[in-house]
Structure 1
Amino acid sequence: MQGILIIAPNWIGDAVMTQPLLARLKAQYPSSKIDVLASTWVAPIYRACAEVNEIIEAKFEHKQLQWGLRKQLAKELQVKNYQACFVLPNSFKSALIPWLANIPFRIGYRGEFRYGLINLSFDNPSKVNRPPMVEHYLALSQLLKDDEVNPPSELTPKLNVSSLAKQSVEQKLALADINPKALLVFCPGAEYGPTKRWPTNHFAELTRNLVEQNADAQIVLLGGSSDHELAQNIVLQSGNNPHLHNWCGNTSLDEAIALIGIAKAVVSNDSGLMHIAAALKTPQVAIFGSSDPAHTPPLSEKAKVIWLNLPCSPCHKKICPLGHLRCLNDILPPQVLATLNTLQ
């Protein structure tokens, strides 16, 4: 198997959880070149994966077919003569490119009228009995195997920090007069919605508590540009604490990976940045609300999960259907601080 193409998921956390699949494929086919077709916003995850040969970036847009772009990409990919393609998103449109590119083995989960486009497939697991996402992706490697037993797989994703990104963030930290040895990272956003976001006033109180405990602490708020206003609320509610820095929207994802990699600890919601922290083995506290830590846990021995496991959760709703959001409101800053203090 000389050439393998991966059609990457569209979410950062999901992309992180595909890394063990890449490692398994590299172990099964050591001489293969694994390329990844990814949207521009998840491409940095694959730049941090040692198994990847080439990343083909595409400006995919959510919920858009972009037929012309997909035909053009298929034409460009056809000349590379891939033997197999793993289509990791479940959508119809994600399966079009490898079919148009005439890649012989097109592997993925069934769904959304993909019959024919995918020719080696598994049924999608039910929403009630879903396996952890790493295992969900890893299972696809079984569809290509010969009679040989699959090599053992590491179920914890592993990312590498690029030297270029590390150099960039070290310069930014120096300009902001932040000592890297005193750096903590807060990730207050979650693209999914409010039921995954720990309240901003709780983050603000945690900031005050941390600075009272350690006057040298420096806290950087990380996230995308859509998280900037949310993070600014934390800054205001903390009393414009000089130890708190809102960098949401002011770093690339490559730089965010590097910052998380050098941080002493991370406090995050269930988000893509949570999975990045786990893959970098940075000590972390992961706060869960409406989602299920059994399905998407931070896969690291240095991660501590806080989840109240209320009777109403996990509801997987974007807005609390009961209107009280107790699953997050009732996780108080002293509990998070105490958990943070147990991290090694």
Structure 2
Amino acid sequence: MTRPEDAPLLVRIPNWLGDLVLSLPTLESAAEGPAIFLGPESFRDILEPRFPSVRYVATSRAARWAPLPTIRALRPRRALLLTESLSSALLTWLAGVPERIGYAAEWRGPLLTTRVRRAGPPRSTARAAEYRELAAAAGIAPRSEIPTLQPLAEESDSARVALERAGWKGAPYLLLAPGASYGPAKQWEPKRFAAAGAGIARRTGRAVVVVGGVEDRDAAASAAREARGAGARAIDLAGSTGLGELFGIVAGADGVISNDSGVMHLAAALRRPTVGVFGSTSPVWTSASAPWVSNLYAAYPCSPCYRRTCPIGYGCLRSIGPEEASRALEQLLP
């Protein structure tokens, strides 16, 4: 039988790439002892090589109760819930985890043994600071406030193959990420991305690489087309890379312009000069905070509204011009 002091800590990791990156200091501290990470299957290949001593258990919305037998067999002593869903608390309660730690969101307070009190109203404190609060309640202390990543050798190699397959000739490049899975209220117009990146690319002899998921293909194709029309060499990789390749591609960029998305947080963690464009979300809550990051936010009276779509015309995004993003990135570039 496992002694209580040897029983692992189960960490329910975030579902979004950006939140996962912000949680990395907490995950690194958790992995210093026996730990289990519970999260999306899509994150397995990027986390398992970085945390070889940690057992990774996959979960999904479609099969959210499937991990129950595995969790029961692993007998974790505590569950640290970095997600705020009712289902994550219910899963760990059903699995018989003795201690369940998290914020009392979505009416799940009765399922928690430790209800962490927020430092302020929801979404008023930086997400990374919230993860540190939760970690402290679980008895772990992150060593850093700023997430840091390095690409693995295989990620860099696969990125190079993907770039060369798309016609890259080895030139330095700027990276544009015009998509955002959350919805159009977080998406700056592709033509603005193109204008912001193409000017710098032309002046400095860099290429432009556009990335995104399958759902971002239209926005990425538009940005690449506009960039070429403005005289830049542009490569469109949206929908054609896995997460590991994306890590390597972002790590190789001289600079990055992105919506408030996973790519923005990934670029910041990889210490790339990064400009983040904010629409309906708040740079207080979800920004990447580091000296090599510039966050652009119009602070409209109605923002942050956190809507996925805007009923009044996306003024918060349209008031941010491409020249503002270009200027911000040029100030960050070495």
Describe how 1:177-192 pairs up with structure 2 within 5 A.
177-180=167-170, 182-192=172-182
Q: 1:121 to 1:181 in 2, by over 3 A?
A: farther
1:12 corresponding residue in structure 2:
17
- Asked whether the equivalents of residues 277 and 295 of structure 2 are also in contact (C-alpha less than 8 Å), the reply is yes
Describe how 1:256-335 pairs up with structure 2 within 5 A.
256-323=246-313, 325-335=314-324
In the aligned structure 1, how far is the partner of 2:302 from the partner of 2:52?
Answer: 41
- Asked whether the equivalents of residues 207 and 244 of structure 1 are also in contact (C-alpha less than 8 Å), the reply is no
Q: Residue by residue, what CA displacement relative to the aligned partner does 1:94-118 show, whole Å, maximum 9, x if unpaired?
A: 1233223222221111133424432
Aligned length: 327
- Asked whether the equivalents of residues 208 and 232 of structure 2 are also in contact (C-alpha less than 8 Å), the reply is no
How far 1:337 sits from its partner (Å)? 1.5
Within the alignment, does 1:122 sit opposite 2:116 as a pair? yes
Describe how 1:244-259 pairs up with structure 2 within 5 A.
244-259=234-249
2:74 partner SS: coil
Q: Residue by residue, what CA displacement relative to the aligned partner does 1:243-291 show, whole Å, maximum 9, x if unpaired?
A: 1111111000121111111211111011111111111111111111222
How far 1:159 sits from its partner (Å)? 2.3
In the aligned structure 2, how far is the partner of 1:188 from the partner of 1:21?
Answer: 29
- Asked whether the equivalents of residues 81 and 103 of structure 1 are also in contact (C-alpha less than 8 Å), the reply is yes
Within the alignment, does 1:235 sit opposite 2:229 as a pair? no
Q: 1:152 to 1:74 in 2, by over 3 A?
A: closer
In the aligned structure 1, how far is the partner of 2:228 from the partner of 2:34?
Answer: 52
How far 1:208 sits from its partner (Å)? 3.4
1:294 partner SS: helix
Which sits farther off after the overlay, 238-247 or 192-201?
Answer: 238-247
1:161 corresponding residue in structure 2:
151
Q: TM-score, normalised by structure 1?
A: 0.86
Q: TM-score, normalised by structure 2?
A: 0.88
Q: 1:51 to 1:157 in 2, by over 3 A?
A: farther
Can you give the 5+ residue segments of structure 2 that lack an aligned partner in the other structure?
A: none
Q: 1:209 to 1:18 in 2, by over 3 A?
A: same
Q: Residue by residue, what CA displacement relative to the aligned partner does 1:171-192 show, whole Å, maximum 9, x if unpaired?
A: 2223334255512111101112
- Asked whether the equivalents of residues 29 and 141 of structure 2 are also in contact (C-alpha less than 8 Å), the reply is yes
In the aligned structure 2, how far is the partner of 1:284 from the partner of 1:247?
Answer: 19
How far 1:140 sits from its partner (Å)? 1.5
- Asked whether the equivalents of residues 16 and 45 of structure 1 are also in contact (C-alpha less than 8 Å), the reply is no
Identity %: 27
In the aligned structure 2, how far is the partner of 1:298 from the partner of 1:316?
Answer: 17
1:74 corresponding residue in structure 2:
68
The residue type equivalent to 2:14 in the other structure is P
2:30 corresponding residue in structure 1:
25
Q: Residue by residue, what CA displacement relative to the aligned partner does 1:55-92 show, whole Å, maximum 9, x if unpaired?
A: 2223x13xx5x4xx51x411122222222211222112
- Asked whether the equivalents of residues 4 and 83 of structure 1 are also in contact (C-alpha less than 8 Å), the reply is yes
1:89 partner SS: coil
